[in-house]
Structure 1
């Protein structure tokens, strides 16, 4: 998760780094969709040997949702998709799926970012 300035000020280095990284991913996905083979996208890809698919924890939000376009109801308990952005004032958050306007944090909420 990356924090951002909700007033539209200059964004921090972590924000700019993640934006560049995600933009490059989208460009590669577009090229794959257009039929470009992976070997043509890069000539200097490292080799990963003896690999397995792993799993790791990804930040998300857990709370009571009202007005969600797919999960109808008021104060409906939900777990969001991957959390990518949060405003420094903790008023807004962007998950992989959508924006959330943040209300009151839970009594035992902790913020690591």
Structure 2
């Protein structure tokens, strides 16, 4: 949540969040137009292995991340930001922050229930 006043916001976090939402909206439009995730994501998109569909107040994913630009290490347990897109083949996910290449789902993913 961002707080704002009646004057033009100049807060760095506000600017950061607007940029994230603009990037997400651009990706949503490209998916609508049929552009494949591999064409939009960087080659270094992190892999989320042994992932599950997690629930916060909004949908998100949790799993073992490798190659994340901000959360380093291999097979690091993470929870993602808000989940916005999940490919039908369960190979790609777009969160508020970034694209993820999805590895193996966890045993009890709950995706089809």
TM-score calculated relative to the size of structure 2: 0.50
Aligned match of 1:51:
none
Aligned match of 2:97:
97
Other structure's SS at 2:85 match: strand
For the residues of structure 1 that align with 2:112 and 2:68, how far apart are their CA atoms? 26
Task: State the shift of 1:104 in Å.
Answer: 0.2
Instruction: Say whether 1:108 aligns with 2:105.
Output: no
Moved over 4 A (4+): none
Alpha-carbon RMSD: 3.1
> For structure 1, which runs of at least 5 residues remain unmatched after alignment?
10-55
- For the pair shown, the structure with the greater C-alpha radius of gyration is 1
Higher strand share: 2
Instruction: Say whether 1:80 aligns with 2:80.
Output: yes
For the residues of structure 1 that align with 2:89 and 2:111, how far apart are their CA atoms? 12
For the residues of structure 1 that align with 2:105 and 2:112, how far apart are their CA atoms? 14
> For structure 2, which runs of at least 5 residues remain unmatched after alignment?
1-27, 36-55
Greater RCO, CA 8 A, separation 6+: 1
| Mapping of residues 44-59 of structure 1, within 5 Å | 57-59=57-59
For the residues of structure 2 that align with 1:80 and 1:101, how far apart are their CA atoms? 13
